Structure 1
Amino acid sequence: MSLESLSHAPRGHARTLIHLVLIAWAGFYLLPLVVMLLTSVKPLEEIRSGTLLSLPHALTFEPWIKAWSSACTGADCRGLERFFVNSFAMAIPAVLISTAIGAVNGYALTKWRFKGSDLLFGLLLLGCFIPFQVVLLPMAQTLGWLGLANTIPGLVLVHVIYGLAFTTLFFRNFYAGIPDELIRAAQLDGAGFFTIFVRILLPISAPIIVVCVIWQFTQVWNDFLFGVAYSGNETKPVTVGLNNLVNTSTGVKEYNVDMAAALIAALPTLVVYVLAGKYFVRGLTAGAVKG
């Protein structure tokens, strides 16, 4: 055996060991998801008589159908479908608006600096650390003044306002890495504020746009506090609907339906991260180094 093969052997064993440890931790981390998935496709009798990790003997998707269309949330037995639709009606405009305004804010704070811009950015940055509970009462009063209480547009406004601090921070850090000479050259050619933004910066902003969309969609979709505080009976998001479904005490406790409902509520964010998770990391690192 050559000296070169001996030197590579320990390195190969170490890499194998690292992979095994990572696989073990990934399996441990995914265990609750596996339990939820198995429980959601078992009949109720199997859940009572079997173990959490036992495979279903009689595979059924009836719990998923019931969770979607006929499970009870209190006295209302219409399932999660309407809550699911409400969440999309709230999340999509909130994500698009907050991302668009954050992009303009980040552009203005880096390439069109003005007196007090650093102070304004500091105040916006402070918004990232304000707890949800602090703004509950002021925001409720504001929604009442605007006539948006218990409505989907009201929830959109709340999430846009709360998300602006994060989207502005993301875009500001990304645009800080773009050479100022590029903006000055465009100005010399007669380009104005929005012309430079639309024709020069937006085409190269795809990585940070993906970051903001994933971040905001996840935050808005998973929010419970704002949803339960500012929604009405017909405008509740899916997180509130799931909570009401799981805590409904009438009839037999159907754990398979509860697990199916939880997976339905989590499905959009899971899909977003599976399909676009690698772009999220790339987008964050794209603005990490200036120049």
Structure 2
Amino acid sequence: MDDTEWLATRFEDTRAHLCGVAYRMLGSLTEADDAVQEAWLRLSRADVGQVDNLTGWLTTVVARVSLDMLRSRNARREESLDARLPDLILGPDGPAPEDQAVLADSLGLALLVVLDTLTPAERVAFVLHDMFAVPFEEIASIVDRSPIAARQLASRARRRVRGAPVPDADLDRQREVVGAFLAAARDGDFDALVATLHPDVLVRAETGAPQPVELRGARSAAQRAMLFARYAEFARPILVNGAAGIIALSGGRPLSVMGFTVVAGQVVEIDILTSADRLRELDLTNLD
């Protein structure tokens, strides 16, 4: 095996980890794949003979590339006011395939949405330290700050992240609640829908408009869910970022996807995707 083949093998051994790092930083599967591919290009051109920890070296490269992407994205948003839900990772209503589990494990949509409100440097510092245990001394060189400043970035991010609801760990309980929601939608039972929802439930819906729709409150959410009733006959349970969710399919084509955050047996957040452009981008291969 020559050096190039050896490097390629080592890189493939770390690909799942690198994809997990990039997805947590970017919330975009396409951009995460781009960041990982850029890491391979840099690896193939670099002299890594003296690198003791190749996984750490590649993680740093992916972090730098992701930070640049986040900064560029923020600049575009300031110009266009564009916003969108994070990319969804869909899986069958059962154990997720190993490669998808790497991305979705412990990273529900509620947390991803909060991560998207952080500054690029805060997000990178938090993801690297709190999710991947990268020392602040290494993070400092990536975000071009001192180790103390890098620690402060992660601390500010951590305070924001504490506001994200933590889904019930019992996936079967999540499924039970979401199943009751789906049954009520199919039956057009407004009161039963309200009963599945927390009084202050938050609904985010991306329909293709420039800004996602947001509404709060059980009755408002139930009224929105009644609109879903026309899709309910096509709906089936799935996993959305490792949590209980629903997809409506017709002729193999997705009509909508709903991700749920269930806390203490009630739905506290619902993320709805009906944007035709975003639905076409979904990877449905793991649902079969």
TM > 0.5: no
TM bracket (short chain) = under 0.3
TM-score, with normalisation over the residues of structure 2? 0.25
Which structure has the higher relative contact order (CA within 8 Å, separation 6+)?
A: 1
Which is richer in strand? Answer: 2
TM-score, with normalisation over the residues of structure 1? 0.25
Larger radius of gyration: 1
